[in-house]
Amino acid sequence: MKALFEQSNIGKMQVKNRFIRSATWENMTTEDGHMTDKLYDIYEELAQGGVGLIITGYANIVIEEQPNPGMMGIYDDSFIDEYQKLTELVHTYDSKIVMQLAYGGTKTTHNVGERIIYAPSEVAEKGTNTLGKSMTKAEIDYIIHAFALSAKRAQQAGFDGVEIHGAHTYLINQFLSPYYNRRTDQYGGSLENRMRFLVEVFLQMRKLVGDDFSIMVKLTASEFFEGGLTFAETRVICKTLENIGVDAIEISGNIHGKASTMIGQYFDGYQLQEEGYFVEYGKAISDDVDIPIITVGGLANIETIETILGTTNIAYFAIARPLLSEPHLIKRWQAGDRRPGICEHCSKCRTRRGNFCVVHNKR
């Protein structure tokens, strides 16, 4: 029987428990993505708080593409020293730390018009209405290479791995999506073609960092709209990722903001849950593949988490908002105080002054 507070492995990375801080953009870097004292403090507090693995907020892999202000950068070697300090700090508390790497794309309203934003095809993003430039083959190669170089930098800085952001309608998700990807070359059309961009990002990365460095992927279970990526397709993608050597997959979705109206509804044959939005999807995938599956979304109750652990093959539990309100939640649970996290999942945590819990943890 699996236990929440036991050591396990994601690839070669040993994690002391099954709790993960899911990637959370803090909006607290300098303008060009460099570390600040505030951010070091936040990561130190998280590590002190007992979480086994911390995934950083998404970091931009090319200088010219920053989908949101205050996000971490990893687009050149100038970041290596400061992240070295960060990883050493986190390791002091026996937590592991993975950097999330992202190319945002058209899911942005930040500085639109001031830069070229890439997309698989010229299809406006549904939420932002931002239109991107359909990428040439040379531009695709450039971004694939930038992902791989960024992973190498993360490795040099002492991170325990990286997570490729393939979810939430960012660029990789858009390549996977039949709605956003209307290409007629080898990167569009069939699922195999739509997957090619992600597969090439991973393979080039793996070549640069070697087999001992953990590479995880965050995916959207389904796009939850007619004509979008379906869960059946995501299952095939997960099988492929397992076969090519991805170390773990985090199953998410893009229902933020609409969660309250979507929870309880069935999409692609599975139901969105109030606690653990995508658990049913993660469970199905965890039966399909042998690599660890991470579930994320709406988790704040250790009893629910224990039930999921005991009744599915899901291996890890990623948490974002409850750790903004209570960075020491995991330590509290481990110490025997099993009351649920105080987070109300109100999503008011994104502010112009940085992302923090405006209700409980006024930084």
Ligand X SMILES: Cc1cc2nc3c(=O)[nH]c(=O)nc-3n(C[C@H](O)[C@H](O)[C@H](O)COP(=O)(O)O)c2cc1C
Q: Is residue 320 a contact residue for ligand X (CB under 6 A)?
A: yes
Q: Is residue 321 a contact residue for ligand X (CB under 6 A)?
A: yes
Residues 107, 252: Cα–Cα separation, whole Å: 16
Residue type, 352: R
Tokens linked to 260: 């309250």
Q: Are 6 and 17 in contact (CB under 8 A)?
A: yes
Question: Residue 37: CB partners within 8 Å, gap ≥ 6?
Answer: none
Concerning whether 40 is annotated as a catalytic residue, the answer is no
Residue with smaller CB distance to ligand X, 107 or 218 = 218
Rounded to whole angstroms, the maximal C-alpha distance in the chain is: 56
**Radius of gyration of the CA atoms of the chain, in A:** 19
Closest CA to 292 of 44, 53, 110: 53
Tokens linked to 77: 């070697």
Question: Residue 200: CB partners within 8 Å, gap ≥ 6?
Answer: 144
Candidate residues 10, 13, 20, 22; the one interacting with ligand X per rule CB under 6 A: 22
Residue with smaller CB distance to ligand X, 22 or 87 = 22
Region near ligand X per CB under 6 A, out of 143-151, 189-197, 238-246, 296-304? 296-304
Q: Is residue 354 a contact residue for ligand X (CB under 6 A)?
A: no
Q: Is residue 83 a contact residue for ligand X (CB under 6 A)?
A: no
Residue with smaller CB distance to ligand X, 164 or 209 = 164
Candidate residues 86, 294, 296, 309; the one interacting with ligand X per rule CB under 6 A: 296
Region near ligand X per CB under 6 A, out of 3-11, 89-97, 142-150, 348-356? 348-356
Residues 95-134 that bind ligand X (CB under 6 A): 100
Q: Is residue 252 a contact residue for ligand X (CB under 6 A)?
A: yes
Closest CA to 191 of 140, 147, 229, 241: 229
Region near ligand X per CB under 6 A, out of 163-171, 202-210, 224-232, 284-292? 163-171
Candidate residues 297, 304, 315, 354; the one interacting with ligand X per rule CB under 6 A: 297
Residues 281, 290: Cα–Cα separation, whole Å: 15
> Which among 43, 58, 83, 170 is annotated as catalytic?
170
Residues 215, 106: Cα–Cα separation, whole Å: 25
Residue with smaller CB distance to ligand X, 60 or 188 = 60
- Point out which residues bind ligand X (CB under 6 A): 22-25, 57-58, 100, 165, 167-168, 218, 252, 296-299, 319-322, 345, 349-350, 355
